[in-house]
Amino acid sequence: MWSRITPVTRPGSRGYVGGVEGINTRGQVVVKDKEEGGCDGLNSLPSLYIDLCLGSNDTLNVAAHNTLARWYCRGEEGRLKESGDDIAVREPVPAHSVVSPQINNTRAATMTTYFSYPDESLQQELRRIANAITAPGKGILAADESVSTMGKRLSDINVENTDENRRKYRQLLFTTDKAVSEYISGVILFHETVYQKADDGTPFINLIKEKGIIAGIKVDKGVVPLMGSEGESTTQGLDDLSQRCAQYKKDGCDFAKWRCVLKIGKNTPSYESMLENANVLARYASICQMNGLVPIVEPEVLPDGEHDLDRAQKVTETVLAFVYKALNDHHVFLEGTLLKPNMVTAGQSCSKKFKPEEVAKATVVALSRTMPAAVPGVTFLSGGQSEEEASVHLDAINKCTEAKKPWALTFSYGRALQASVLRAWGGKDENVKGGQAELMNRAKANSEAALGKYKWGSCQGYAGDKGLFIKDHAY
C-alpha cells in the first residue's frame, strides 16, 4: 500500500508528528489510523497540527503544513475519506479555507510566514539611526580599510605601513573641523580603528561622536573563494558575528557594514553565487539588528570586464532581487537597514563610454525595479571611479526623473573621498591641515551631489581626475 506515497525520510518523523506517515504523489497527507498506533482520529488533529507548526523545518513539516491546516478546518464531515484499507487520505480543499494558529505573537501566522521582528523600541532605534545616516545632504566616509589595504594606500604616497602611520592618518580624518558634520553623517571604521586614540589619548570613536557623526564598523572578514564556481566568491565572518556586534554596540558603534562581491562574466554571476551571497547578507543583517546595529547591505557588482551598460543594469537588478528576497525570508526589518550598491556602470574595459545621464537612468531604473520603498536610503559605493566621476554620477542620479525614487540617494565613499586627502598629506605632519582641507572640499561636493546641486567640475583636488579602479578589488 506504500507504493502510492512518498515515504518520510527523516528518522523518527512518525514518532515526532504522531502518526503522519508520508505524502503521496499528489501532495496529499497520509495518516495511519488509531489501530495502527498512529493519530487518534479527529480528536488528535489539533495537537498534531500545532506540533507541525512548532516543529523543525524538515521536509515533512514544510510540505504537510498547509494540507493539514485545510484538513483540520473542514469540520468533521468530509475531513477524511476512507481508502479501503487502514490509510486515511485527505482530499484537496480550497486554499482560502486555511487558517493559522496564534503563535508567539498576536498575528495569525502559518509556518512559512511566521516571523519575529525586533521589539517596538528596537525598531524605533534602528529606524532613527538609519534615517540620521541618510539625512538630506549627508553621507558616509568609509574609513574601514584593512591593514593590508591601508598598506596599499600608504605605499602610493611612499609612506610605510606601520601602526603609527595608520593611526596618524586616521587622526587627520577624525580631527577635521566639526563643520565636516554638515556633510558627513557616519564613518565606517575597521576593528583596529575603533580602539585607536589621538595624540591626547582621546579614543577616535569619541572624536567622531563629539562631532555628531555616527560611528559604524566593518564586520565581515573578507571574501573567500566559492567552491565549484568560475572564480566567484562569498564572504566569511558569520560564526562569531553576534558576539562581535554586541561588543561593538557597547563600544559606541551604531551601524555595521558587510560586503559581498559579484562578478560579471560570460557565465557569471551564477545562480549559486547570487543565492549564497544574498543569504549571507541576510543572515548578517538579522544578526546586526538583534544586537542594535543598523546593517548596511553591500552586494557589490564589480566593474571589471567588457560588459556594456545594459548588461550591468540587468545583472544589478537580478542581484538586488536575490538580496531582497533573502532579507524578506530572514524577516529583516527593512526600515532599519540601508543598501550600499554599485552604481550601474559599464565595465572598465568596455569600448563604449556612457554619459552621466545614462548611468543615472540605468541606476535609478534598476533600483526602482527591485528595492522596496520601506528602505530609508541608498549609500552608493564609488567602485573605482575617480573623485569627480563619483560626484558627477551621484548628482546625475539625484537629478534623474526616469523612475520614482522613494529613498535618500547619497554616498558611502572610501577612495573617492580620500584620494586627494592622502596625496595632500603625504605622510608629513606639516601637511595635516592641507589634507583636512581636501576632505572638507570633497565632502562638500558630494553633499551637494546628494541634493542634486553639484556644479560639475567645481571641485578639483590633488588627485585630479585620476581613476581609482583596482582590478578584482578586495579589502
Q: Is the pLDDT of residue 323 over 60?
A: yes
Q: Which of 284, 187, 201, 202 is nearest to 235 (CA)?
A: 284
Helix (H, G, I), strand (E, B), or coil: what is residue 119? coil
What per-residue confidence (pLDDT) applies to 460? 84
Asked whether the predicted pLDDT for residue 312 surpasses 60, the reply is: yes
Residue 135, pLDDT above cutoff 60: yes
Kindly state which CATH superfamily the domain 120-450 is placed in. Answer: Aldolase class I (3.20.20.70)
Please name which of 186, 140, 148 lies closest in space to residue 470, comparing C-alpha atoms.
148
pLDDT at 110: 53
pLDDT, tens digit (0-9, with 9 covering 90-100), for 338-387 = 999 999 999 999 999 999 999 999 999 999 999 999 999 999 999 989 99
For 438-471, the DSSP string reads HHHHHHHHHHHHHTT---TT----TTTT-----T
Q: How many helices (H) and strands (E) does the chain have?
A: 15, 15
What pLDDT sits at residue 194?
A: 98
Mean pLDDT score of the chain, rounded to an integer?
A: 83
Closest Cα partner for 219 from 196, 195, 247? 247
3-state secondary structure of 118: coil
Task: Count CB neighbours of 27 within 10 A.
Answer: 12
* H or E element, residue 255: strand 255-262
Please provide the DSSP assignment of 364-416 as one string: HHHHHHH--TTS-EEEE--TT--HHHHHHHHHHHHH--SS---SEEEEEESHH
Per-residue model confidence as pLDDT tens digits over 174-223 = 999 999 999 999 999 999 999 999 999 999 999 999 999 999 999 999 99
- Give strand pairing partners of 408: 377
231-285 residue pLDDT tens: 999 999 999 999 999 999 999 999 999 999 999 999 999 999 999 999 999 999 9
* Cis amide prior to 269 (ω within 30 degrees): yes
Residues annotated as part of the active site: 298, 340
User: Is the pLDDT higher at 384 or at 474?
Assistant: 384
Which of 94-108, 385-399, 437-451 shows the lowest mean pLDDT across its residues?
A: 94-108
**Going by DSSP bridges, is the β-strand pair 223-225/233-235 parallel, antiparallel, or unpaired?**
antiparallel
The 8-class DSSP code of residue 331 comes to T
For 346-377, give one letter per residue: b (16+ CB within 10 A) or e. Answer: bbbebeeebebeebbbbbbbbbbebbeeebbb
pLDDT of residue 78 exceeding 50, the answer is no
Which set of grid coordinates corresponds to residue 65? 503544513
Chain centre to alpha carbon of residue 92:
40
How far apart are alpha carbons 111 and 466 in whole angstroms? Answer: 54
Give the pLDDT band (50/70/90) at residue 117.
Answer: confident
> For residue 261, what are the β-bridge partners?
300
Among 64-78, 366-380, 383-397, name the one with the lowest average pLDDT: 64-78
| Domain boundaries along the sequence of the chain | 2-97, 120-450
